[in-house]
Amino acid sequence: MATYAIGSVKGDYQSLLKLLETISFDPENDCLWFTGNLVNEGPESLAVLRYVKNLGKKAVTVLGDQELHLLALAEGFAQAEAGDTLDDILNAPDRDELLKWLRRRALVHHDAKLNFTLVHAGIPAEWTFSQALTFAYEVESVFSQGNYAALLENMGQDQSRWHAKLRGWKRLRFITNAYTLMKYCNGQGKLDFNTCGALGTQAEGLVPWYRLPERLTAHLNIIFADDANFDDDVFPGIYPLPTQGKLSALKLSATPESISMPG
């Protein structure tokens, strides 16, 4: 039995199938971890979503910002953006079943036996591992219950720094954005949700979230979607995974092995 982690598929179903063929994925015995953003940009978001959902317990996926965008669109709290390829999901006969399944995905997944933690974007430096799990559960419990639409309606990016006294929607917004949008921050840990370019193109004073000194989860092996091209930045315990079109799989073990599609 093997467990493989895969970056943001973003609706690129054919690339996903090619990668699974490359790693000889066996759904009877192997397990897949997905870093979120299964959908959008690529032409077959519906096929990707159905495929991962149908894997059942053989697949673990965390929520990314594209899943949240899809859920907000479905509830009428967001406008379609240029380049969106989500209509096939929104018009699908199994739309409600798929969206309900998405709402029950986690923001963070940890496997103590494998010694790996899965998120879409990152974990703020000032959170301990216990806090990271607790804060994620606060949001996950809302999304899985009947008042999830109120959270989608109150999403925004007005809070860029964590404070323990945050309450209500501001608290839930920050937690959600940290897990799904964070890439860069300043030296004091203030998150920048707007900077998303490749490493080296960010404004002066900004660093990747995982490079903050005294990060309280530095002992974890963290897997996340490499939406900012961090792949050339080698850092202990940090595993950014390439996204759509250049997908690769990370075989999880004591000595993780990266497997890329040929050609």
**pLDDT recorded at residue 263:** 62
The set of residues, in sequence order, having a beta carbon less than 8 Å from that of 167 and lying 6+ positions away, is none
**Does residue 229 or residue 105 have the better pLDDT?**
105
The set of residues, in sequence order, having a beta carbon less than 8 Å from that of 140 and lying 6+ positions away, is 106, 107
Q: For the chain, what percent of residues have pLDDT higher than 90?
A: 82
Per the structure, the complete domain to which residue 165 belongs is given by 3-260
Q: What is the CATH number of the domain that holds 52?
A: 3.60.21.10
Q: For the chain, what percent of residues have pLDDT higher than 70?
A: 99
Closest CA to 157 of 130, 195, 205: 195
**Does residue 242 or residue 224 have the better pLDDT?**
224
**E strand or H helix that includes residue 239:** strand 238-241
What are the tens digits of pLDDT across the range 9-41? Answer: 999 999 999 999 999 999 999 999 999 999 999
- In the chain, how many domains are there? 1
**pLDDT recorded at residue 196:** 79
Q: Virtual CA dihedral for 194, 236, 239, 177, nearest 10 degrees?
A: -30
For the record, the structure tokens of 74 come out as: 């479905």
- Is the Cβ–Cβ distance between 175 and 157 less than 8 Å? no
- Is the Cβ–Cβ distance between 245 and 12 less than 8 Å? yes
What are the tens digits of pLDDT across the range 182-218? Answer: 999 998 889 988 887 788 888 899 999 999 999 999 9
* Strand bridging mode 59-61 / 31-34: parallel
What are the tens digits of pLDDT across the range 135-146? Answer: 999 999 999 988
pTM equals 0.96
The set of residues, in sequence order, having a beta carbon less than 8 Å from that of 39 and lying 6+ positions away, is 9, 10, 11, 45, 48, 49, 66, 67, 70, 85, 86, 89
Sorting pLDDT into bands at 50, 70 and 90, what band is 121? very high
| Three-state DSSP state, 18 | helix
What are the tens digits of pLDDT across the range 144-185? Answer: 988 899 999 999 888 899 998 999 999 999 999 999 999 999
DSSP-assigned letter for residue 117: E
Measured in residues, the chain has a length of 263
* Strand bridging mode 248-251 / 3-6: antiparallel
232 has pLDDT over 90: no
Of the candidate ranges 60-74, 119-133, 160-174, 194-208, the one whose mean pLDDT is the lowest: 194-208
Give the span between the Cα atoms of 234 and 161, in whole angstroms: 26
Which three-class secondary structure string do you get for 42-54? CCCHHHHHHHHHH
What number is the average pLDDT over the span 69-93? 96
Q: Virtual CA dihedral for 80, 81, 84, 86, nearest 10 degrees?
A: -20
Closest CA to 195 of 157, 164, 154, 222: 157
- Is the Cβ–Cβ distance between 66 and 22 less than 8 Å? no
Give the span between the Cα atoms of 229 and 227, in whole angstroms: 6
71 has pLDDT over 90: yes
The span from the first CA to the last CA of the chain, in angstroms, equals 27
